[in-house]
Amino acid sequence: MGELTKTRVRQIAEERGFQKAAHKRDSLGVCFCPMDYRTFLRREVPEGNIQPGKFFDEMGDFIARNEGYPFYTIGQRRGLGIDLNRAVFVKEIIPEENKVILSDLKALEKTEMRLKEWNITNLTCCWAGRT
């Protein structure tokens, strides 16, 4: 969305008659899970299959123990179970090491992204694993 803030996007939606989108509550969970995903994991994954892990900062310094990497999502701020007297977010998850890397919000910003199996619409070029 470029330089647009969430507030501005909601304002534009309202101006264009998209009332439902303009006044929709922010999502705090995983959209495909009908309940809190942590509850889902605790219920569906056999006990002992998710091992406790560790939180680290971007410099690799240990911060605290965590419940195991599957309980966290990139960008997550709430529900980390730690208090550092500052806002921290999940920046990276390293499943092989059961590590969760935390950072400030600014460190989550990206200037590039990698796409896989993408489609360009309204143009003559499309890619979906075909040449």
Token pair 């101006």: residue: 15
pLDDT digits (tens, 9 = 90+) for 71-107: 998 889 988 989 888 899 999 999 999 999 999 988 8
Measured at the alpha carbon of residue 38, what is the angle toward residues 108 and 104, in degrees to the nearest 5? 20
Between 53-62, 85-94, 103-112, the lowest mean confidence (pLDDT) is in: 103-112
Considering only residues 31 and 10, tell me which one the structure prediction assigns the higher pLDDT. 10
pTM over cut 0.85: no
Distances from the Cα of 125 to the Cα of 45, 49, 116, 119, 128, angstroms: 42, 44, 15, 8, 10
Considering only residues 104 and 31, tell me which one the structure prediction assigns the higher pLDDT. 104
